[in-house]
């Protein structure tokens, strides 16, 4: 086992847990924010399992997923917008609970927890299919086109999975106001895809042909 990679993964996992907990429970003013704990459970338990599997089966891919430093200026803007959206969305959800503004029923929490896990399962399948799946937008050495499985349906199934997951987050947290904030995420992803496809068209052999074969980027028959 790569000890350095293991330590890096543990540090990022714990840092993410602490950050998200702070963004939720401090604005909520209490640790008795049930929806917050449910979200932390559906987010971090699968994340831990997936991290262990990647550590054992594909440490190279895990290393790529841990690297979040973008080289492209357009992608840096996308990362910044995403960070602002998550910050506002989580803090608003905590405040929503503290002041009881618009609280969604437990049925929303149950249903969208399942939707979130469905998106997580789709995300895991994308990781299984594509060993080149870096967190940053880049063309890697010896990278090949993947056009089977989910990549035979849409060109960016990972983003489809994250949209499904991230739009479920505020509903798990019970905040309709936070959901409005998270609606910016699909817009951010569209910005990312437009720039990413330009890079792939220029640097990845066969990508133009793949675009003709698989016409839709995110949703079949829509876009």
Distance, CA of 196 to CA of 75 (rounded, Å): 8
Whether 19 is in a domain gets the answer yes
Q: 């009881």: which residue's tokens?
A: 100
In a domain, 147, yes or no: yes
Average pLDDT over residues 33-43: 96
Does residue 100 belong to any structural domain of this protein? yes
189 in a structural domain: yes
- Please give the angle made by the CA atoms of 40, 176 and 113, to the nearest 5 degrees: 35
Instruction: Give a yes or no: residue 220 inside a domain.
Output: no
- Global pTM reads 0.88
Residue 18: give its domain's CATH number.
1.20.120.1630
Q: Which residue has the higher pLDDT, 146 or 177?
A: 177
Does residue 222 belong to any structural domain of this protein?
no
Position 204 in a domain: yes
Which residue range(s) make up the domain with 141? 3-213
Reading the block at residue 155, the tokens are: 């060109």
Q: What is the dihedral of CA 31, 34, 38, 39, to 10 degrees?
A: -70
Q: At what angle do helices 34-57 and 59-66 cross, to 10 degrees?
A: 130
User: Per the structure, how many domains does the chain have?
Assistant: 1
Whether residue 136 is contained in a domain is answered as yes
- How far, in Å, CA of 70 to CA of 23, rounded? 24
Mean pLDDT for the stretch of residues 23-31? 97
Using DSSP, state whether 103 is helix, strand or coil: strand
Q: What are 98-152's pLDDT values in tens digits?
A: 999 988 889 989 999 999 999 999 988 888 877 666 555 555 566 778 878 888 8
Residue 95's closest CA among 173, 182, 17?
173
């Amino acid at each position: 086992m790569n000890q350095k990679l293991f330590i890096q993964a543990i540090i990022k996992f714990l840092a993410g847990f602490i950050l998200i907990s702070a963004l939720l429970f401090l604005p909520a003013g209490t640790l008795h924010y049930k929806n917050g704990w449910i979200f932390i459970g559906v987010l971090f338990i699968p994340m831990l399992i997936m991290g262990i599997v990647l550590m054992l089966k594909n440490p190279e891919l895990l290393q790529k997923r841990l690297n979040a430093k973008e080289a492209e200026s357009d992608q840096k803007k996308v990362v910044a917008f995403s960070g602002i959206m998550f910050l506002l969305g989580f803090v608003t959800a905590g405040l929503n609970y503290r002041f009881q503004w618009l609280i969604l029923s437990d049925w929303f929490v149950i249903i969208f927890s399942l939707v979130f896990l469905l998106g997580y399962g789709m995300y895991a399948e994308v990781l299984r299919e594509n060993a080149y799946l870096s967190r940053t937008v880049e063309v890697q050495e010896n990278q090949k086109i993947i056009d089977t499985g989910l990549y035979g349906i849409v060109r960016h199934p990972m983003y489809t999975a994250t949209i499904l997951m991230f739009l479920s987050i505020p509903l798990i947290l019970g905040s309709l106001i936070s959901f409005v904030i998270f609606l910016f995420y699909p817009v951010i992803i569209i910005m990312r895809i437009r720039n990413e496809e330009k890079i792939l068209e220029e640097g990845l052999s066969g990508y133009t042909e793949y675009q003709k074969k698989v016409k839709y980027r995110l949703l079949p028959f829509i876009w």
